[in-house]
Structure 1
Amino acid sequence: MDKNQLGVQYMQEGNWEEAAKAFNDAIEENPKDPVAYINFGNVLSAVGDDEKALKFYQKAIEIDENAAAAYYSIGNLLFSHDRFEEAKHSFEQAMRKGLDSSDTYFMLGLTLIQLDQGRLALPYLQRSVELNEHDAEARFQYGLCLARNELIDEAINQLTKCIELDPIHSDAYYNLGVSYAFKENQAEALAMFNKALEIQPDHVLAGHAKKLLEQIQ
């Protein structure tokens, strides 16, 4: 088996030490292969060595300036450190270099939300769910972003699809409840808050919203 493939297999098993060894072997066998550097960087990031991971991603870009996955990995790393403006630039670079994946659109959308640019995030989150219709979390974040931009009917549609994909997504039920309350559909809102609490009894926001709704009925 190819050393990169072997390393990825070890990563999927959570065997970081063997994964690192496999990617190191891949680099020694072919020092001009950017994929091995990206993979090694992903292992380092997974075990918390982000500083060294960044160097491996940058090395991959030195070898191949069109290594789109390296820009994406840098974006993830920067996002995890709340460096959102830089993360945005990296995800945009990944797209320019041809990484047309649902994950790239999703992460760029999330980054724009963190930068208080929710309306700009909408088309990226929309594209994310178009490319991967079965991603419940992408549906949730898209629905949430729609709701924050007062596109309530569209938000309800996405959040409903989210709970079809993930029936125990308590936050999706809670936000569905908020959306129904916004439309003054109190019965449906209460049902959604109750469902959120059934799944997660300590869901503070759902509990508070349920009490408020019961007081005004």
Structure 2
Amino acid sequence: QVNEHEQAVKALKAAVRLRPDYAEAHYSLGASFYQWSEQESVRKRELLLLAERSFKTVLRLSPNHVAATYNLGTTFHRLSKFALSVEILQLATSLDPSNEDAFFNMGASLWQLGRMLDASSAYRRTLELNPSKADAQYSDGLCLGAMGRAEEAQERFSAALQLNPQHADAIYNLGISYAQLKRYKEALSLFRTTM
């Protein structure tokens, strides 16, 4: 599959050379670098930096390009540039307020920055857009737990498990929230489930 990515990148680089002002060619090039980075461990950072550069070029040519804005924010997250990720994903959500993935990824970057209340708000917005997203329920539970709100965290972990009964992290963290609430039998039962 790496060969397919190399061929796609080669063709898209040729397209960009022919039409350097064509935003969609730059976008496709950035998307190809990003997808390639998901399958490369050795060159991952290099490929993400190339994706970043391509998405920035798109936004210079077409400042309101929704997909490039979202993908640049996600690229920043994967590069551990969390503050930039939040900034760009906020822009993405203003351009497309229905983009649940932008809110979810913004929550992940806010979590990395230690901004639990803001992360929780982003996850809740994700859930308003898609109530069946188990990972958003789970992630909001983590935020609530980190803020010492064990009962609310327990509700989120339970909701995640209703949506995905095999969500091992939700099972484990539900057990932790039960222990924090001094519901030890339930906690022990869940911990046994994860072992």
For Structure 1 versus Structure 2, the TM-score category normalised by the shorter chain is 0.7 to 0.9
Distance 1:178 1:50 in 2: 36
Per-residue Cα deviation, 1:25-77 (whole angstroms, up to 9, x for no partner): 87689765534422320211222312221221112112211112212211111
TM-score w.r.t. the length of structure 2 is 0.82
Cα RMSD between the aligned structures? 2.5
> How many Å apart are 1:186 and its aligned residue?
0.9
Q: Decide which moves more: 174-183 or 43-52.
A: 43-52
Find the counterpart in structure 2 of residue 194 from structure 1: 192
> How many Å apart are 1:22 and its aligned residue?
7.2
In the alignment, is the contact (CA less than 8 A) between 2:52 and 2:76 conserved in 1? no
Q: Separation in 1 of the partners of 2:12 and 2:93?
A: 25
TM-score, normalised via structure 1 length: 0.74
1:44 is matched by which residue type in structure 2? F
CA distance in 1: counterparts of 2:10 and 2:132, whole angstroms? 34
Unaligned runs of 5+ in 1: 1-9, 198-217
1:161-193 deviations in Å (ceiling 9; x for gaps): 212222222211111001111111111111111
How far apart in 1 are the matches of 2:162 and 2:17? 47
Q: How far apart are 1:103 and its partner, in Å?
A: 0.7
Identity %: 28
- In structure 1, how many angstroms separate the alpha carbons of the residues matched to 2:4 and 2:179? 47
The size of the alignment, in residue pairs, is 185
Q: Does residue 27 of structure 2 align to residue 38 of structure 1? A: yes
1:142 corresponding residue in structure 2: 140
Q: Is this contact kept in 1: 2:58–2:65, CA < 8 A? A: yes
Q: Which runs of 5+ in 2 are unaligned?
A: 38-46
Q: Is the 8 A contact 1:87 1:111 kept in 2?
A: yes
Of 8, 11, 16, the match for 2:5: 16
Deviations 1:135-172 (A, max 9, x none): 22222111111111122222122211212222222211
How many Å separate the matches in 1 of 2:86 and 2:165? 31
Which residue type is aligned with residue 157 of structure 1?
E
Q: Provide the C-alpha distance between the structure 2 equivalents of 1:134 and 1:36, rounded to a whole number of angstroms.
A: 34
Alignment-mate amino acid for residue 30 of structure 2: G
